[in-house]
Structures are given as structure tokens and as C-alpha cells.
Amino acid sequence: MIFEANDKLVLIGDSITDCGRARPAGEGLFNPYGNGYVNMVKAFLDACHPELAIRVVNKGNSGNTIRDLKTRWQEDVLNLKPDWLSIMIGINDVWRQFDSPKLSEQHVDLKEYENTLKELIEMAFPGLKGLILCTPYFIESNRKDPMRVRMDAYGKVVRKFAKTYGAVLVDTQSGFDRMLETMHPMALAWDRIHPDTSGHAVIAKCFLNAVGCQM
């Protein structure tokens, strides 16, 4: 288990992280963590390691790209002084290129994504005990599908930075690929992006395995 007693874990990302979390910060009473993988991660950390009293904060914002993370990085990451930071971003960076092809100003190309992610990591890294990087994913078994190809390229950037910075890698795409060996994508997510409870459990399981939480 990588976390220590009283560690503060901040998870930042888009709608997959957000999932209806409380504002201004997803923590505290009355189900503030949303109804997705963050809530599951928090619950299992408490259930499996209650003695550690890990503080979990959900800072996901629906619709965000890496550009949006940059605009709120100071307030939502640096000011919170996390011990551990988890980043899962990139889905909308790719998706807008396919669902809004004419709105090029909304597109975040691979180079901008890579440069901005590196910039944000380096801003936060000196103050962290550790970094957790989660790959973006597309719940599609056809690896030649154009959006799957593009998403895999963005995921490759995340894997590269995990090695560069010695970060914990949460390979969500591999988790979904295992499910897709026996399930159709629509059984997990109607749009192949926003998963049902089982899909969020896939992400949570990938996360908890990566951080060494014994369930």
C-alpha cells in the first residue's frame, strides 16, 4: 500500500471523476464524492485501511480538457497541498475532435496535450509524496476504430510520463479491454465513454490494484 497515515489524496479530471460530486470540493458528509470510481476508491480505502485515515478529495469537473485543468490548477491542486495527486484527463481532448469536428478551437491536439500535462505535472510534483497517472480510455474493442486509435496515442503519453516521473500508472484502458473480451461496449457505457456502475468498478479496481490496496 503506497499511502501512509493521514495522507491527502486529490483526484482531478473530467466527468468520469466528477460524477456529481459536491462543490466546491468533493469531500465530507452526505455522499460528496459523486457516484463513480472516486466514491468506490474512497470506500475501499476506508474499509481496507481504516487505520490510515486517508483524506480523499474529488476535484473532477465535467467536460474538462487538459486546458481546463490548467486554468484551475492553482486553486484545485496546488492550493490544496495534496500528498498524492491522481490525474485522469484526455477523454474530452480526443472526443471533441470526433463529436465536434468543425469546432477546431475546442480540439486539443496530441502535442498540446503532452506539453500541458508535462507543465502541470512539473508544477505539482515538487510538493507531492507521489503522483498517480490514469490513462484516458475508449470502451471500444476495435483497436482500428479512429477514436480508439487516437485515444491510445494520448494514453501512450500518460504511460511515458508515468515512467519519466516514477508515477503510479493506472491503466484504465487495459481494464476495459479485459471486460470487452466477453462484453459488448454498450453493456458498460451507452456512449462508450460514461460507464455504468460496473464500468466505474473497473476503473476503481485498476486504481486500487495500482496503489496496492488489498481488498
CA–CA gap between residue 109 and residue 106 (Å, rounded) = 10
- Distance set, CA 109 to CA 9, 97, 145 (Å): 29, 9, 18
Residue 215 predicted with pLDDT over 80: no
Per-residue confidence at 214, pLDDT binned at 50, 70, 90? confident
The per-residue pLDDT for range 130-170, each reduced to its tens digit, is 999 999 999 999 999 999 999 999 999 999 999 999 999 99
Q: What is the DSSP string of 142-157?
A: -TTSHHHHHHHHHHHH
Catalogue the active-site residues: 15, 191, 194
Range 8-211: architecture per CATH: 3-Layer(aba) Sandwich (3.40)
Q: Is the pTM of this model over 0.95?
A: yes
Give me the pLDDT at residue 153, please.
98
Average pLDDT over residues 181-206: 97
The per-residue pLDDT for range 27-77, each reduced to its tens digit, is 999 999 999 999 999 999 999 999 999 999 999 999 999 999 999 999 999
CA–CA gap between residue 86 and residue 203 (Å, rounded) = 13
CA–CA gap between residue 25 and residue 10 (Å, rounded) = 10
Question: Among all chains, which residue has been given the C-alpha cell 507543465?
Answer: 119
CA atoms within 13 A on the CB side of 47: 9
Residue 91 grid cell: 477523454
Residue 115 grid cell: 506539453
Is 73 within 8 Å of 118 (Cβ atoms)? no
CA atoms within 13 A on the CB side of 213: 25
The per-residue pLDDT for range 83-140, each reduced to its tens digit, is 999 999 999 999 999 999 999 999 999 999 999 999 999 999 999 999 999 999 999 9
